[in-house]
Chain A
Amino acid sequence: MKQIEARFRVDWPGFFLDVDLALPGRGVTALFGHSGSGKTTLLRCIAGLERARDGFLSFRGEVWQDRSTWIPAHNRSLGYVFQEASLFQHLTVLGNLRYGMKRSASGKKISLDHAVELLGIGHLLDRKPASLSGGERQRVGIARALAVSPNLLLMDEPLAALDLKRKQEILPYLERLHGELSIPVLYVSHSPDEVARLADHLVVMDGGRVLANGPLADTLTRLDLPIRLGDEAGTILEATIGAIDDDWHLARLDFRGGSLWIRDHDLPVGRKTRVWVLARDVSLANEQPRESSIQNVLRGQIDAIGVDEHPGLALVRVRVGDSLLMSRVSKRAMSLLNAEVGREIWVMVKSVALAD
């Protein structure tokens, strides 16, 4: 269901944005791109904080902006989480949370209590923002946006200003949101890791334009895109922990098409998880490798071959069962392997990253 339609064209000095997007009305949509790709400006246009001339924006059939309509930001039913928490310094945490709630016109789908509970900030309510840690502040910022009971949640790199430790502190809360919220979330990020953990739908932006817009797994395996993702090109596998090998401290990940052994992360058997398999960690062979340090060897079929950003490299998409993997190999190796679309091949996975 495409419930958000956005068309913006901005041509300010030194800045360009030209997008025409239809986005799903549920789940987390990641707006992904390097800094300067226009993703934050797009989010600000959707929020009504920026006004693109001749823009069009509709949400669930309600026009927020067109030639003759302009709903100002304060009349749009949305929550906005800024990169820095930007709490009101003159109010307590509770005062911050109430500020939006008091002015909210929509129903109390997500009550203040629920937001407080969801972000785990019940013990902070009487504190002033100045006395909170960076991670706590951002959690309050997210709760404040939710307390408005918005119909749409916009998040502008909510983790970018935090160090790794604080990120790890907040990510689980974001994942809870992902699971519990019924409203659509637009999540701006330049971190593939966050995208892998949180997104259902991916919009890739570059130079103010949309390069790709589609469900996460489909978009990641598009061969015309990984070029822009550079070293982070890869795929996401939805997997389940199938078994634990206590002797070797390994866990078996079962995905549609095969299984992989990875380091045991103390996840229980049966737990669903996502793994991020980088193209540079996947290699190909014609013969089944034996006695190799790479333990994960799968049988697959070359699905497509694409050019990579370096003239000596190629990106190969391999179908393993129902899943797709990407491999970054040199063109010389391609020639040695006689690699071509349709050919059966052995796929060696050196490592995978658990996304959650």
Chain B
Amino acid sequence: MFLSESDLQAIWLTVQLASIVTVLLLLLGTPVAWWLARTRCWLKGPVGAVLALPLVLPPSVLGFYLLLAMGPHGPLGHLTKLLGFGPQPFTFWGLVLASVAYSMPFMVQPLQNAFESIGDRPLEVAATLGASPLDAFFTVAVPLALPGFLTASILTFAHTVGEFGVVLMIGGNLPGITRVASVQIYDHVEALEYGQAHQLAAVMVFFSFLVLLVLYAWRPQTQKAG
């Protein structure tokens, strides 16, 4: 294997982080996206805007505020202390928390689009066929939005893998705990280990290409099915 042990450790950590964040966001983002897609409440606009902030803010700004919030004097820090976890910055779970916030729009927006494109009709049909709203959600909305779920999951996973600024701000650079692949490359470059940086960077390029290829190759089929 041409990658060093620390490189492999960084990649493994990255995969763990991205997987956990994707699963958490699937659980968290689905109801949020459903609410955004169906509500006529005036809060829809403000909530949608707040959730989309990570798309436009520099990661350092986001990381800075998350750091403050998770610190011993921040609201999240108080909460984690109360729950007996202690302050979370510079821990793996702190990184998970920050990534959930950072990658939220990549889960919510494709899902919201998918739910919106289903429209009211299939759910009305389900209701006239005796399905309760929850029943209709799982048996009609979710299957019809399946392409949206796949897109959202892939984007979330890939975006979390590509995270750098927020990780530096919130997680630092602790091997095996917070040193993900993007940070490891940064380290290599700082240490002028261009060869190793090349290898890891190439893995990232290849992975990103693969993800996008799957995404784009899949699109036409999903449209046909819809």
User: Which residues of A are at the interface with B, using a C-beta cutoff of 8 A?
Assistant: 47-49, 72-75, 78-80, 82, 84, 86, 88-90, 99-100, 103-105, 130, 144-145, 148, 154
Contact = CB atoms under 8 A, between A and B. Distances in A.
Interface stretch (B86-94, B132-140, B165-173, B180-188): B132-140
Interface in B135-169: 135-136, 139-140, 143-144, 146
Contacts of A82: 121, 124-125
A103 B144 contact: no
28 contacts: A48-B127, A49-B127, A49-B128, A73-B127, A73-B128, A74-B126, A74-B131, A74-B132, A74-B136, A78-B128, A80-B125, A80-B128, A82-B121, A82-B125, A86-B121, A86-B122, A86-B124, A88-B122, A88-B140, A90-B140, A90-B146, A100-B128, A100-B129, A103-B129, A104-B130, A148-B129, A148-B130, A154-B128
Can you list the 8 inter-chain pairs with the closest CB atoms, starting with the nearest? A100-B129, A103-B130, A80-B128, A73-B127, A90-B143, A74-B127, A86-B125, A86-B121
Contacts of B124: 49, 73, 80, 82, 86
A156 to B, nearest CB: 11
Contacts of B133: 74
Interface of B is mostly: helix
B148 to A, nearest CB: 13
B135 A103 contact: yes
B128 A47 contact: yes
A100 B140 contact: no
Nearest to A141: B125
A89 B121 contact: no
B125 A74 contact: no
A79 B125 contact: no
A127 B126 CA distance: 20
Given A80-B128, A90-B140, 17 more contacts: A49-B128, A73-B127, A74-B126, A74-B130, A74-B133, A80-B125, A88-B125, A89-B225, A89-B226, A99-B126, A99-B131, A99-B139, A100-B128, A100-B129, A100-B130, A103-B129, A148-B130
B128 A89 contact: no
A84 B136 CA distance: 19
Interface residues of B, number: 21
Interface string B102-125: 000000000000000000011011
Contact of A99 (B129, B146, B225, B226): B129
Nearest to A147: B129
B169 to A, nearest CB: 43
A99 B130 CA distance: 9
Contacts of B225: 89, 130
A78 to B, nearest CB: 7
Contact of A90 (B121, B129, B136, B144): B144
A90 B138 CA distance: 12
Nearest to B133: A74
A82 B121 CA distance: 9
A103 B140 CA distance: 14
B131 A103 contact: yes
A198 B60 CA distance: 70
Interface in B19-48: none
Contacts of A90: 140, 143-144, 146
Given A49-B124, A82-B121, A89 B144 contact: yes
Contacts of B140: 88, 90
A105 B130 contact: yes
Nearest to A76: B128
A154 B146 CA distance: 31
Contacts of A49: 124, 127-128
Contact of B129 (A89, A130, A144): A144
A44 to B, nearest CB: 9
Contacts of A73: 124, 127-128
Interface in B73-90: none
Contacts of A80: 124-125, 128
A89 B226 CA distance: 7
Contacts of B139: 99
Contacts of B129: 74, 99-100, 103, 144-145, 148
B38 to A, nearest CB: 15
Contact of A145 (B128, B131, B143): B128
Contacts of B144: 88-90
A127 B127 CA distance: 23
A48 B146 CA distance: 28
Nearest to B146: A90
B191 to A, nearest CB: 52
Q: Tell which of A49, A73, A82, A148 has the most Cβ of chain B within 10 Å.
A: A73
Contacts of A130: 225
A85 to B, nearest CB: 9
A88 B225 CA distance: 11
A89, A104, A105, A145 — most chain B CB neighbours (10 Å): A89
A105 B129 CA distance: 11
**Which of B121, B124, B143, B226 has the most chain A CB atoms inside 10 A of its CB?**
B124
Contacts of B132: 72, 74
Nearest to B119: A86
A72 B225 CA distance: 31
